[in-house]
């Protein structure tokens, strides 16, 4: 059971972490982009 919990916790951390990080990067780069 412990391996099941660790496996899904890892997947959530990696997939969720990457998604949140990329959305934050996107906000940052969009805000730096000069207005047209």
Partner 1 sequence: MNRYEKAAAAAVALMVLAAGAIFLFAPTDALQGPVQRIFYLHVSSAIAAYGCFAVVLLGGAIYLRSENLAADRLARAGAVVGLVFTTVCLVMGMLWAKPIWGAFWTWDARLTSTLVLWIIYAGYLLVRRLAEPGRQAARFAAVVGIFGFVDVPVVHFSVTWWRTVHPGPVIVNDALPPEMLATFLFTMACTLALAAVMIAIRYRLETLADGPVPEPAKVVAAVGSRDAEPVR
The first and second tokens of residue 34, run together, are: 């000069």
Helices (H), strands (E): how many in the chain? 2, 0
DSSP letter (8 states) at residue 32: H
- Name which of residues 3 to 32 contact partner 1 (CB under 8 A): 3-4, 6-8, 10-11, 14-16, 18-19, 22-23, 25-26, 29-30
The first and second tokens of residue 33, run together, are: 């982009």
Q: Hunting for tokens 């990080």 — which residue is that?
A: 21
Give me the least distance between CB of 16 and partner 1, in Å please: 8
33 binds partner 1 (CB under 8 A): yes
Interface with partner 1: number of residues (CB under 8 A): 20
35 binds partner 1 (CB under 8 A): no
């Amino acid at each position: 059971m412990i391996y099941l919990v660790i496996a899904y916790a890892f997947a959530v951390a990696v997939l969720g972490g990457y998604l949140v990080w990329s959305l934050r990067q996107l906000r940052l780069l969009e805000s730096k982009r000069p207005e047209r």
